A and B are shown apart, each in its own frame.
Chain A
């Protein structure tokens, strides 16, 4: 028995409850969970990034994470990594949801030892070139969006500090991506980081009065807040892989894909869809819409990266709900702020294969791009024809695995190179989860899907053997000589379940 802070006698033990701790005061004791400092709104708001780094204690060897919702406009990764480099932090594991062209500064931070390892969905530009050429001692790990969520929620990827850039939050850390000058829409990838990271540093452009609702990131996950001049360049946020095409070839492919999807019986009342980034796959929405109007049917939901075309479907009542893990353009960002049926979902909800359910498993059809596809229908979206990294895994293998019908779209030739080949440079999505390949010269069907073949032939669509498509391509270009690689492994490609599906090697002759 001992006396607590207000003079009551408390037993040391209670049956079933073990040892009891006596009350120590309204603001707790050193060993209780209550902090000694103030918890009033604003107490988390620190004056500078350096103050925030001091507060959370970033040390050498830690794993730090970021999101890529600002796409080509992101300023947060460079800002934080530069600050850490100045403080002499070393050997960091960088675990962003993805990286883009704007992150080439990281090359110097790898060279000076600030960064030891990178895990990301994608890499582009000079950073990707340098990593392909052997910049890093440890291979980069390429993960899918669902695979990253699985690794984080499953405890395999432990994040010490998540740095989450937001356009606006309140003084307690409730944040949204839908408002503010750098509105990016959904914060779906960052929501997982906020949930699992040991510490969360929020970088915001604007602090709104409490409470900011609805919040994508909740106050209970946020440790410190720093107001910065800018987290993103709005011009770059809608840029990159999400352009809307006017290219007649991409439109032709998109139209053919929509016709194939219709022939497969997918466009019926209540169906669901997703389209990946890339001209033809984004444009497919336009033609699917026309077919929906023609047949008088509506979709139940559209998933994934949300574009203005999908917003149009929602506003026209042609789709019931948008499940938005990432807003691809300003229209999508605006829509999520005002339309109750435009729902933000996090990366786990979207595609995590490690939990009891995710949205990709409910998809009827997904339309995906490919940089290369081979006779086994394996798809490469990570390395170019020169073997150099220049893409992203994204949700490719997640959606392909989940959707009832997976349609891959690509022009048969890109410039002077065939897209169809004997064996792709690197595999992101295994051919087993691809049902259809739609090109500008015909459609190939996975031999395991005899039912689809019959339906497409009955609809008088131009069905070809994939080997025939390859021969046609090579009749124009000749057979390209395969890229030669040396033994240096510069990247590991992780399948969504955490297994390694392929390795990325250094093209012969490239040196960092």
Chain B
């Protein structure tokens, strides 16, 4: 299973950070051409990200690029550069409707043909940052077979809701849950929003725990120090892992005996419990899921 517990934002206009982003061990790096880059630097950042994709070895870490929307003067050029550079995933910001995805998909297809990339090799990811987008999350998540994940961008979203972010995130609860359900219904991943308090480790862990409990697969992060913390949240504890191993072993045992009933310590084990145990082992890197 490809893990996406952490997706590390890297400003597209910072050469040394582009070079080294993966050394902190995120599951994905996220080169940003959108909000982190001022209009005056869009072209230079695009060129830097293209060169980074072309020339640097990221040791197998997934390379995601957040492009500018197609409603900006930069979106199409971003797609051309990023596809020809060979990015693994394009992340579209401010997705409000399935049409947004379909438009990007067309542009990506065209770019793949133009630059001789394998058709379908560029995956997509959509960030939803408005009430309209959240209510369309189900359609957005199912809009393209290229989609591997949807994410929530909280800052724009709470502004759209006419509220602000609170420490416990009550204002985001419905949106987060809708997003996770939409992702699950489409069989793709759900990625939680960034936590901007770089020095607030406790606050970050609290929010990550909440996201995990709601069903998210991971979180976008804005500082390397958040990676270890997030992995701590999404990595099973030794106790959880030990239990999962026993559940999976019991299931294998039952299968070998040709028995339809799985039991462990005198209790019957349902199929969803086995599925969860497999997920735990996958998160620990012990099985492919």
Q: Please tell me if the beta carbons of B19 and A252 are within 8 angstroms of each other in the complex.
A: no
For residue B23, CB closer than 8 A to chain A, the reply is yes
* Chain B residues near A252 (CB-CB < 8 A): 23-24, 224
Q: Which residues of chain A from 227 to 247 have a CB within 8 Å of any chain B CB?
A: none
* Closest partner residue, chain A, to B228 (CB atom): A255
For residue B225, CB closer than 8 A to chain A, the reply is yes
Q: Please tell me if the beta carbons of A251 and B225 are within 8 angstroms of each other in the complex.
A: yes
For residue A343, CB closer than 8 A to chain B, the reply is no
The contact string, 1 if C-beta is below 8 Å from chain A, for chain B 200-240, is: 00000000000000000000000111000000000000000
* Chain B residues near A251 (CB-CB < 8 A): 224-225
Q: Which residues of chain A from 180 to 216 have a CB within 8 Å of any chain B CB?
A: none
Residue of B19, B23, B223, B224 ringed by the most chain A CB atoms within 10 A:
B23
Q: Please tell me if the beta carbons of A476 and B23 are within 8 angstroms of each other in the complex.
A: no
Complex CA–CA separation, A249 to B225 (angstroms): 10
* Chain B residues near A249 (CB-CB < 8 A): 20, 23
For residue A372, CB closer than 8 A to chain B, the reply is no
The contact string, 1 if C-beta is below 8 Å from chain B, for chain A 234-271, is: 00000000000000110110000000000000000000
Complex CA–CA separation, A248 to B8 (angstroms): 13
Q: Using a Cβ–Cβ cut-off of 8 Å, how many residues does chain A contribute to the interface with B? A: 7
Complex CA–CA separation, A248 to B24 (angstroms): 8
Q: Is the interface of B mostly helix, strand, loop or mixed?
A: helix
Q: Please tell me if the beta carbons of B20 and A440 are within 8 angstroms of each other in the complex.
A: yes
Complex CA–CA separation, A205 to B274 (angstroms): 74
The contact string, 1 if C-beta is below 8 Å from chain B, for chain A 451-480, is: 000000000000000000000000010000
Q: Please tell me if the beta carbons of A248 and B19 are within 8 angstroms of each other in the complex.
A: no
* Chain B residues near A476 (CB-CB < 8 A): 19
Q: Is the interface of A mostly helix, strand, loop or mixed?
A: helix
For residue A59, CB closer than 8 A to chain B, the reply is no
* Closest partner residue, chain A, to B25 (CB atom): A252
* Chain B residues near A441 (CB-CB < 8 A): 23
Complex CA–CA separation, A359 to B232 (angstroms): 38
* Chain A residues near B24 (CB-CB < 8 A): 248, 252
The contact string, 1 if C-beta is below 8 Å from chain A, for chain B 99-142, is: 00000000000000000000000000000000000000000000
* Chain A residues near B225 (CB-CB < 8 A): 248, 251
Complex CA–CA separation, A249 to B23 (angstroms): 8
Complex CA–CA separation, A441 to B223 (angstroms): 18
Complex CA–CA separation, A344 to B24 (angstroms): 38
Complex CA–CA separation, A252 to B23 (angstroms): 8
Complex CA–CA separation, A482 to B225 (angstroms): 36
Q: Which residues of chain B from 6 to 47 have a CB within 8 Å of any chain A CB?
A: 19-20, 23-24
* Closest partner residue, chain B, to A416 (CB atom): B16
Complex CA–CA separation, A251 to B224 (angstroms): 10
Q: Please tell me if the beta carbons of B23 and A440 are within 8 angstroms of each other in the complex.
A: yes
* Chain A residues near B20 (CB-CB < 8 A): 249, 440
Q: How far is the CB of A249 from chain B (nearest CB, A)?
A: 7
Q: How far is the CB of A444 from chain B (nearest CB, A)?
A: 16
Q: How far is the CB of A476 from chain B (nearest CB, A)?
A: 6
* Closest partner residue, chain B, to A248 (CB atom): B224
Q: How far is the CB of A404 from chain B (nearest CB, A)?
A: 29
* Closest partner residue, chain B, to A440 (CB atom): B23
Q: How far is the CB of B49 from chain A (nearest CB, A)?
A: 16
Complex CA–CA separation, A440 to B22 (angstroms): 11
Complex CA–CA separation, A416 to B166 (angstroms): 42
Q: Which residues of chain B from 220 to 274 have a CB within 8 Å of any chain A CB?
A: 223-225
Q: Which residues of chain A from 149 to 178 have a CB within 8 Å of any chain B CB?
A: none
Complex CA–CA separation, A440 to B16 (angstroms): 13
Complex CA–CA separation, A440 to B223 (angstroms): 16
Complex CA–CA separation, A248 to B227 (angstroms): 11
Complex CA–CA separation, A251 to B24 (angstroms): 10
Complex CA–CA separation, A252 to B224 (angstroms): 9
Complex CA–CA separation, A249 to B20 (angstroms): 9
Q: How far is the CB of B177 from chain A (nearest CB, A)?
A: 32
The contact string, 1 if C-beta is below 8 Å from chain B, for chain A 431-454, is: 000000000110000000000000
Question: What would 15 A/B residue contacts be, using CB atoms closer than 8 Å?
Answer: A248-B24, A248-B223, A248-B224, A248-B225, A249-B20, A249-B23, A251-B224, A251-B225, A252-B23, A252-B24, A252-B224, A440-B20, A440-B23, A441-B23, A476-B19
Given contacts A248-B224, A251-B224, A251-B225, list 12 more A-B pairs with CB under 8 A.
A248-B24, A248-B223, A248-B225, A249-B20, A249-B23, A252-B23, A252-B24, A252-B224, A440-B20, A440-B23, A441-B23, A476-B19
Q: Report the 8 A-B pairs with minimum CB-CB distance, sorted nearest first.
A: A248-B224, A440-B23, A252-B24, A248-B225, A248-B24, A476-B19, A252-B23, A441-B23
B-contacting residues of A (Cβ < 8 Å)?
248-249, 251-252, 440-441, 476
A-contacting residues of B (Cβ < 8 Å)?
19-20, 23-24, 223-225
